[in-house]
Chains A and B, each alone.
Chain A
Amino acid sequence: MKFVDEFRDSEKAQVLRQAIHQVARELEPRLARPWQIMEFCGGHTHTIFRYGIEQMLPDCIEMVHGPGCPVCVLPMGRVDDCVTIAENPAVIFTTFGDAMRVPGSQKSLLQARAEGADIRMVYSPMDALSLAKKHPEREVVFFALGFETTMPSTALTVLQAEREGIKNFSLFCNHISTAPTIQAVLDEPDLMLDGFLAPGHVAMVIGLEPFQFIARDYRKPLTITGFEPLDILQALWMLLQQLAENRCSVENQYTRVVQAQGNAAALKAIHQVFETRDFFELRGLGSIDHSGVGMRPEYAAFDAEQKFKVKNLTITDPQDCQCGAVIKGLIKPWECQIFGKRCTPENPMGALMVSSEGACAAYYNHGYGRDAA
């Protein structure tokens, strides 16, 4: 298939693999411990597992699977708020598919639907807006979540709703920002990370500038990375070059999509509709300053948080859950005390077990560490 197979070519993969091993061989004698490289984004985690990329890497490279899966970092309190809104008989609650299984403190959206709530899976926020036009007598709420990758499409949908004068459409906004989330990881005192594969589709929207502080202030090299398996290998090789040469800069592997300045139209829509919240809670990471965005007061008419008085409760994760330590790379998923025992994809306790992009579910589903558990 065109534009797909080119980026999954096994011969090219072998060339990159050899190049990575070559750099590693030269540097290994200098290393006191393996390099820890974090792929921030859940999409990268998915690709790494789907293509068995970890098995292709030398022993001196350890991949750490970061917090960049928006489904995984969704706190239980917000899921509870979703369920409350969805159970209102006046509401059609719309959501992306993989958010349906995230456990709240009482139930997930999937369970709420089974109990009678009108919850519908959509593929884009525009589908939710179409539903609102089709059902003028109901309030259609869209569960907006994701990093800057999905923000533009929700923002543009709100602007469209405003233009068309649609009154029965609103967002339950749970969008989060990448830079403060990475910063929270970097501020972890026990941090051992040596570099980052940074999220290509976030960079497509926001450009390279918001990532510069990582190299400048925290002295960690990073590569903006695409999502095909060859992208990952090439980006790793680029990152190793930086490590080998003791450089720290923001490099762009994903040049076919990402421009240094980002996407001006997308940024304009985001800034028109959303504003930074003072703080927002991320599951496993806790409350992080400026990590979330909410809707500007001008768009209050489209804000489900204003239309429905949600409780906005903070619910602490189950005590045994070590999602936070996994996200920060402090322990491997299977080193969590409940991994594969009380926490499985069938019955997830922690968020990282919920989505196929969550590090724990990825390890579990692909068989790693399960025998040890």
Chain B
Amino acid sequence: MSNVNKLAGKTITLAHGAGGKAMRELIDEVFVKGFANPELASLEDQARFDLTELVAQGNRLALTTDSYVVDPLFFPGGDIGKLAVTGTVNDLAMSGAVPLYLTCGMILEEGFAIDELIKIVTSMKVTADEAGVKIVTGDTKVVHKGAADKCFINTAGVGVIPAHIQMAATQAQVGDKIIVNGFIGDHGAAIVDARGELALESSILSDCQPLHDLVQTMLKVCPTIHCLRDATRGGVATVLNEFAQSSQVGIKLQQSVIPIRDEVRGMCEILGLDPLYLANEGKLVAVVPPEAAEAVLAAMRLHPAGVNSVMIGEVQAIPKGRVLLNTGFGGERLLDKLVGEQLPRIC
């Protein structure tokens, strides 16, 4: 993007969503310049792809969509733009798909600073390049002040799944090992911290990162990984409950080996939150056949997105549909699905 943007220092007005000259200027100056790719620059109403290229890469399309409404827009370790790309890339990647194309729908609040928008678009472009995906079509709407909170983004994504990959939440089997790719709860804790209400001494970085390459590395070692999901809202506990229910198996975790940063633990201790339910934006949970588990783990640890990978538990026959946690203190407890949002305890 050129350093001198005509719209620098200006704010979003309703005219930027009205379809006329102002909107065209916003699209050209911010989005076309920012995302910089020929598919978008053609400014047709739709992006068009060559099917033969896609077919060469696999036998199924993966399609997903997600909306991003994070507050604050910028937080330690990321921003809404980075999140909007990684979140959708990761949703594609969890099927084993190679992510290819994203869309970008923006809902902007009247009065939003265009400089901030440029920062967000730049961040989306940097992240998309890292993840090897192109943002090929988009839409912008502007709403009255107060009708939205600054900037909401929706991204949809398309990827291609190689023919031999068949992962699903229904496929966990007794004896399988559970692996996570590092410290859990960082994103959720970073967002609470970034809201500034707690004034903690140390800042916590979001783990926001694309995981498609890590997934491909894992699948090279073991193409028959049974289940894979990224542990976003609801955290690791929620994903494991989904696996346990879909596969009708029990899952047993060992609290003592689950990787949680001291800063995150500390915040959870203060607020009465459970890090197992905190959101992640760069963490996956894999259910791996036991004979391949050590090899998958070793390969993950050699990948930058998996250096701190750990085996945290295993699949057992009972209790069907439930997740148990060995507390490491001598007892065990059920790790249930979250009811509503986690609310800080009074005392």
Are A346 and B339 in contact (CB-based, < 8 A)?
Answer: yes
Q: Which A46-70 residues sit within 8 Å CB-CB of chain B?
A: 46, 49-56, 70
Known: A1-B262, A1-B265, A4-B265. A123 touches B330 (CB 8 A): no
Are A127 and B334 in contact (CB-based, < 8 A)?
Answer: no
Binary interface encoding of chain A residues 211-244 relative to chain B, with 1 for a CB under 8 A from any of its CBs, else 0: 0000000000000000001000000000000000
Q: Complex formed: what's the CA distance from A345 to B331 in Å?
A: 23
CB-CB under 8 A from A54, the residues of chain B are: 331
Are A98 and B345 in contact (CB-based, < 8 A)?
Answer: yes
Q: Complex formed: what's the CA distance from A121 to B262 in Å?
A: 25
Tell which of A100, A345, A366 touches B334, judged by Cβ atoms closer than 8 Å.
A366
A284 contacts the other chain (Cβ, under 8 Å)?
A: no
Are B329 and A229 in contact (CB-based, < 8 A)?
Answer: yes
Residue of B whose beta carbon sits closest to that of A43? B347
A99 contacts the other chain (Cβ, under 8 Å)?
A: yes
Q: Which A67-92 residues sit within 8 Å CB-CB of chain B?
A: 70-71
Q: Complex formed: what's the CA distance from A98 to B319 in Å?
A: 30
Known: A1-B265, A123-B271, A366-B334. A146 touches B347 (CB 8 A): yes
A291 contacts the other chain (Cβ, under 8 Å)?
A: no
Are A97 and B340 in contact (CB-based, < 8 A)?
Answer: no
Are B331 and A53 in contact (CB-based, < 8 A)?
Answer: yes
B269 contacts the other chain (Cβ, under 8 Å)?
A: yes
Are A55 and B345 in contact (CB-based, < 8 A)?
Answer: no
CB-CB under 8 A from B327, the residues of chain A are: 50-52
Q: Which B290-347 residues sit within 8 Å CB-CB of chain A?
A: 319, 322, 327-334, 336, 339-340, 343-347
With both chains docked as a complex, state the minimum distance between the C-beta of A274 and any C-beta of chain B, in angstroms.
Answer: 17
CB-CB under 8 A from A229, the residues of chain B are: 329
With both chains docked as a complex, state the minimum distance between the C-beta of A234 and any C-beta of chain B, in angstroms.
Answer: 13
Tell which of A10, A70, A145, A365 touches B330, judged by Cβ atoms closer than 8 Å.
A10
Tell which of A52, A55, A101, A122 touches B340, judged by Cβ atoms closer than 8 Å.
A101
With both chains docked as a complex, state the minimum distance between the C-beta of B240 and any C-beta of chain A, in angstroms.
Answer: 14
With both chains docked as a complex, state the minimum distance between the C-beta of B270 and any C-beta of chain A, in angstroms.
Answer: 8
Are B345 and A355 in contact (CB-based, < 8 A)?
Answer: yes
With both chains docked as a complex, state the minimum distance between the C-beta of A343 and any C-beta of chain B, in angstroms.
Answer: 13
CB-CB under 8 A from B329, the residues of chain A are: 8, 10, 13, 51-53, 229
Tell which of B197, B333, B343 touches A50, judged by Cβ atoms closer than 8 Å.
B333
A249 contacts the other chain (Cβ, under 8 Å)?
A: no
Binary interface encoding of chain A residues 357-373 relative to chain B, with 1 for a CB under 8 A from any of its CBs, else 0: 10000000111000000
A22 contacts the other chain (Cβ, under 8 Å)?
A: no
With both chains docked as a complex, state the minimum distance between the C-beta of B208 and any C-beta of chain A, in angstroms.
Answer: 24
A356 contacts the other chain (Cβ, under 8 Å)?
A: yes
With both chains docked as a complex, state the minimum distance between the C-beta of B199 and any C-beta of chain A, in angstroms.
Answer: 10
Are A70 and B331 in contact (CB-based, < 8 A)?
Answer: no
Which size class do A's interface residues fall under? 35 or more
Are B347 and A52 in contact (CB-based, < 8 A)?
Answer: no
Q: Complex formed: what's the CA distance from A229 to B266 in Å?
A: 17
Q: Complex formed: what's the CA distance from A366 to B337 in Å?
A: 10
Residue of A whose beta carbon sits closest to that of B344? A97
A299 contacts the other chain (Cβ, under 8 Å)?
A: no
Residue with the highest number of chain B CB atoms closer than 10 Å, among A17, A50, A149, A355: A50
CB-CB under 8 A from A357, the residues of chain B are: 345
Tell which of A1, A51, A97, A150 touches B343, judged by Cβ atoms closer than 8 Å.
A97
A201 contacts the other chain (Cβ, under 8 Å)?
A: yes
Q: Complex formed: what's the CA distance from A245 to B262 in Å?
A: 43
Are B330 and A96 in contact (CB-based, < 8 A)?
Answer: no
Q: Complex formed: what's the CA distance from A46 to B322 in Å?
A: 20
Tell which of A4, A55, A70, A96 touches B332, judged by Cβ atoms closer than 8 Å.
A55
Are A121 and B332 in contact (CB-based, < 8 A)?
Answer: no
Q: Complex formed: what's the CA distance from A140 to B198 in Å?
A: 19
Residue of A whose beta carbon sits closest to that of B332? A52
A14 contacts the other chain (Cβ, under 8 Å)?
A: yes
CB-CB under 8 A from B319, the residues of chain A are: 367
Tell which of B333, B339, B344 touches A52, judged by Cβ atoms closer than 8 Å.
B333
Are B330 and A17 in contact (CB-based, < 8 A)?
Answer: yes
Are B330 and A98 in contact (CB-based, < 8 A)?
Answer: no
Are B266 and A70 in contact (CB-based, < 8 A)?
Answer: no
CB-CB under 8 A from A366, the residues of chain B are: 333-334, 336
With both chains docked as a complex, state the minimum distance between the C-beta of A9 and any C-beta of chain B, in angstroms.
Answer: 8
With both chains docked as a complex, state the minimum distance between the C-beta of A174 and any C-beta of chain B, in angstroms.
Answer: 11
Tell which of B197, B269, B345 touches A46, judged by Cβ atoms closer than 8 Å.
B345
Are B344 and A146 in contact (CB-based, < 8 A)?
Answer: no
With both chains docked as a complex, state the minimum distance between the C-beta of B245 and any C-beta of chain A, in angstroms.
Answer: 14
Tell which of B269, B330, B347 touches A56, judged by Cβ atoms closer than 8 Å.
B330
Q: Which A29-56 residues sit within 8 Å CB-CB of chain B?
A: 42-43, 46, 49-56
Q: Complex formed: what's the CA distance from A345 to B342 in Å?
A: 12
Binary interface encoding of chain B residues 221-233 relative to chain A, with 1 for a CB under 8 A from any of its CBs, else 0: 0000000000000
Residue of B whose beta carbon sits closest to that of A68? B347
Are A4 and B269 in contact (CB-based, < 8 A)?
Answer: yes
Are A70 and B347 in contact (CB-based, < 8 A)?
Answer: yes
CB-CB under 8 A from B343, the residues of chain A are: 97-98, 100-101, 121
Q: Which 10 A-B pairs have the closest CB atoms?
A: A52-B331, A367-B334, A97-B343, A97-B344, A345-B339, A55-B331, A96-B346, A51-B329, A98-B343, A51-B327
19 inter-chain pairs at a CB distance below 8 angstroms, sorted by A residue, are: A1-B266, A8-B329, A10-B329, A14-B330, A42-B347, A50-B327, A52-B333, A55-B331, A56-B330, A56-B331, A70-B346, A97-B345, A110-B340, A127-B197, A201-B347, A355-B345, A365-B339, A367-B333, A367-B334
> What residues of chain A have their CB less than 8 Å away from a CB belonging to chain B?
1, 4, 8, 10, 13-14, 17, 42-43, 46, 49-56, 70-71, 96-101, 110, 121-123, 127, 145-146, 149-150, 201, 229, 345-346, 355-357, 365-367
